Structure 1
Amino acid sequence: MMFRRIASAAAAACLLLSSPVMAQMQIPSDAEIQVLLDEAVSSGRTKGVALGILRPDGSRRVLTAGTAGDKIGPVAPEHVFEIGSITKTFTGVLLAEAIRRGEVAPEDPVAKHLPAGTRVPTRGGKEITLLDLATHRSGLPRMPGEWTAPDPQNPYASYQPEDILQFLATHELAHDIGTQRYSNYGAGLLGLALVRAAGAKDYKTLVRKRILQPLKLRDTSFERPERGMSVGHAKNGEPVPHWDVDGLAGAGGLNSTVGDLLTYLDAHIGPARSDLERSMRAAQLPQRDIGKGVWKIGMLWQMRERNGRWIVSHGGGTGGYGAFVAFDPQSGAAVAALGNTDDFDGDFVLEILAPRLSQEGE
C-alpha cells in the first residue's frame, strides 16, 4: 500500500533527525540530498519535487528538483501542489477542536450531526460514531459504490454534499462497525457532520476559519492560485487536469506548499501555545491499534513505532500528485515532501536515510 511506503520513508526521516546518536552521525548535507532528489526526477519517479525538513532546533531547509511544469520552470519552494489525503489530518484536527468546544463528543452517533431524518446504516445493533469515522472503523466503503465519476480525470468534481447523504439513504454495511477499512467516503462524511455541528457554511469555510487563518497558512487553500500552481502529471509524464473536490472535501482537496506544511507540522509539536494547538495534540493521540502493535491511528493521523518512537504521518495522492508529511512529537523533527506526478511516494527519503539508519540497528 502506498501509504505504508510513504509512512516508512517519513518515519525514517524523523528518526534520523531525532536520533540519540545524531551527534555521532553526519547528517545528510544539502548536496547529498540534492543528488537523490535529482535522481528521483531523472529516473521518472516524478517530474518535480519539493522536500522540507524541520529540525528539532526549529531550523528549516527546503530543497527542490525538477520542473513545476513545462511553461512554469523549475520547482521552487513557493510552488503549490495538491496534497490529497493529507487533508484528512485537517479533518481530524477539526474533530478534536469541535470536541474541545463542546460541539460534539467522540462517541456521538454521526446521525446526531446530520439533517433530521437522515438514514445512517447500522449493523449488529451498533451505530456509526464520529470516532469510528476518524479511525476508519465505520464499516463504510472506500468510495460510494454506486457512484461513477462523469470525468475520470477529475473524478470528484461533481460529487456534492447532498450526494454523501443520498448514498447513506440506501447503503447497507457489508462490514461490521469496528472493522478497519480505509474510507475516503467516511472522512468526507465526518467533515460534513462537523460543518453542521459548528453551524458553518461549508467544510472549506470551517477549515479556513479554524486552522488556515490562525496558523497563517496563506498558501494553503481549496482554490488554485492564479500563479504558482505546479502542473500535475500522469505516470507517463503527460500533464493531467487538476482535481476539484467539494462534497468529499474532508477527505482530500487542499493545495499547499512545502513551507506551509512545515508550519502546520510545527504547530503539532512541543508545548501547546493555543487552544488550536491543544486540539492538535489531542488529534495525534492513538485511538486504535491498526497493525500488530506497531501501527496506530489517532483522529485521522496515523502513526508507526520505529526504534521505540511513534512517528505521526499521513500520505496523499491525486491524479497528478503525491505527498507525505510526518513528525516525531518527542524530538520536534518533521518532514514534508511534495511531488507533481501520480503515485509519487517519497521512497527516495529512505535512500537518503537507510545507510545511516543501519548504524542504529534498523
Structure 2
Amino acid sequence: MHATGVLRDGDATTTGPTDARFEIGSVTKAFTGILLADMVLRGEVALDDPLSRHLPSPRPAWRYRAPTLLELATHRSGLPNTPPPLQRREFLAAIGRCTRDPWDDVTAARYAFMLEATSPRARPGGRAIRYSSMGIGLLGDALAARAGTTYADLLRDRILDPLGMGATNLSPDDQLPGHTRRGRPAPPLRDHMPAAGSLRSTVEDMLRFLRACLDPPSRAFALAAQPYAGSRVKVGLAWFVASHPRKPPIVWHNGGTWGFRSFVAFRPDTGEAVVVLTNTARGLEKLGFGLLDERVHAGVH
C-alpha cells in the first residue's frame, strides 16, 4: 500500500489513505535534528558539546575522543550504523531473507553492553560521512537526558503537539502490517535507538511537518536544514541537502525498516514538498524525487 502527499502553492494533493499509520524509519532522524537545533537555540546544549557532557553512560569505548553533538548529527562520529553483533541480522531482515525481528532478544542491558563494547576505528570529525543510526540514537538519548525526560516526551512536547501531529509517535499500535520485498509479513521495528528510526506517522501528519519545514514556526526548523558537512550531498542536522550548480537545493531524507519505506523532501526555493509512505520494503527515492519535480531530480540519489 502506498500513500503520497504533495504540497504545491500551499495546496496539498494526496493519494492513498491519509490516516493510515506507517513506520517512517530514518525520517525520524530529521525530527531529532530539529530537536537538537531547538535545544541549541534555547541555550540548553551547544553543537560543539561532547556527547559525554550530556550522556556519561552507557557509551562506546572511544579510541580518540567523544564526538560532538554536531558530529553525531552529521554522521561524522566514526560509529558504525548499528551495533556490530546485530549487523548481519539487520542486513538479512532488510533484504527480506529473514522475517525474525533482529532485536527480539536484545534487552536494554544487552544493548548497553553492545554500546560499551563498540570501539570506533575512525576518528570523529573530518570530511568523511559515515552514516550511523547508532550515532543519531545516542544523540537523541543525550538530548533527552539533558532535558530530564524521555525522547518520546521531548519529541511530543517540542514538535509533535505544537504541530498538531496527533497520529505520530513511537508506538507500533494501530500501524499497518509491514511486508518484505518478497511480500512476506515483516515484524514491526522494536529497537533501543528511538531517535534514529522508530517513529510511526501518517501522510496527513507528515504534510503538517513539511508545511512547518517550508514555513518554519521557529528558527529550529531552518537551522536544522542548513548544510554543515559533505560535498555533493551535504548534511544538515540529520537532513540531507542535495545541491547542484545548475539545480536548486532539495532537503530530504528517506527511511526503511524491515517492512516499510518512506521518503520526504522539500524545496525551500519553490515551497514544494512531497511525502511517500509504503508498507513494503521497496525503495521510494526515484518516485519521491520525481513527484517533487522531474526536472530537478535527475542525478540525485
Contact 1:156 1:248 in 2 (8 A): no
Number of positions where the alignment pairs a residue of Structure 1 with one of Structure 2: 288
Equivalents in 2 of 1:128, 1:319: separation in Å? 29
| Alignment partner, residue 16 of structure 1 | none
- Residue number among 25, 30, 36 corresponding to 1:84 in the alignment: 25
SS of match in other structure, 1:53 = strand
Instruction: Give unpaired runs (5+ residues) of structure 1.
Output: 1-47, 65-75
- Residue number among 58, 66, 91 corresponding to 2:10 in the alignment: 58
Distance 1:346 1:129, change over 3 A: closer
1:259-292 residue CA offsets vs partner (Å, 9 max, x unmatched): 111110110113x43xxx2111111111102xxx
- Residue number among 332, 335, 360 corresponding to 2:271 in the alignment: 332
- Residue number among 110, 121, 131 corresponding to 2:51 in the alignment: 110
SS of match in other structure, 2:277 = strand
Give the letter aligned to residue 209 of structure 1: D
Equivalents in 2 of 1:160, 1:222: separation in Å? 17
1:163-200 residue CA offsets vs partner (Å, 9 max, x unmatched): 55433433322112124210111111111111111111
Contact 2:274 2:291 in 1 (8 A): no
Between the aligned residues of both structures, percent identity stands at 38
| Alignment partner, residue 294 of structure 1 | 232
| Alignment partner, residue 5 of structure 1 | none
| Alignment partner, residue 204 of structure 2 | 259
Give the 5 Å matches for 1:4-153.
48-55=1-8, 57-64=9-16, 76-115=17-56, 120-124=60-64, 126-147=65-86, 153=100
SS of match in other structure, 1:146 = helix
Give the 5 Å matches for 1:123-202.
123-124=63-64, 126-147=65-86, 153-157=100-104, 159=106, 162-163=109-110, 165-178=112-125, 179-200=128-149, 202=150
> 1:219: how far off?
1.2
Contact 2:263 2:288 in 1 (8 A): no
> 1:53: how far off?
0.1
- Residue number among 189, 209, 218 corresponding to 2:166 in the alignment: 218
Distance 1:350 1:84, change over 3 A: closer
Equivalents in 2 of 1:336, 1:361: separation in Å? 20
Work out whether 1:237 is the aligned partner of 2:183: yes
Contact 1:219 1:256 in 2 (8 A): yes
Equivalents in 1 of 2:54, 2:105: separation in Å? 24
Contact 1:161 1:192 in 2 (8 A): no
Work out whether 1:305 is the aligned partner of 2:243: yes
Contact 2:265 2:292 in 1 (8 A): no
> What is the TM-score when the length of structure 1 is the normalising length?
0.73
CA RMSD of aligned residues (A): 2.6
SS of match in other structure, 1:304 = strand
Distance 1:223 1:353, change over 3 A: closer
Equivalents in 2 of 1:84, 1:141: separation in Å? 17
Equivalents in 1 of 2:109, 2:147: separation in Å? 18
1:232-265 residue CA offsets vs partner (Å, 9 max, x unmatched): 11111122222223x2001111111111111101
Contact 1:96 1:283 in 2 (8 A): yes
1:205-245 residue CA offsets vs partner (Å, 9 max, x unmatched): 1111111111110111111344xx32211111122222223
Instruction: Give unpaired runs (5+ residues) of structure 2.
Output: 91-97
Equivalents in 1 of 2:10, 2:295: separation in Å? 22
Mean Cα deviation higher: 173-182 or 326-335: 173-182
Give the letter aligned to residue 259 of structure 2: G
Larger Rg: 1 or 2?
Answer: 1
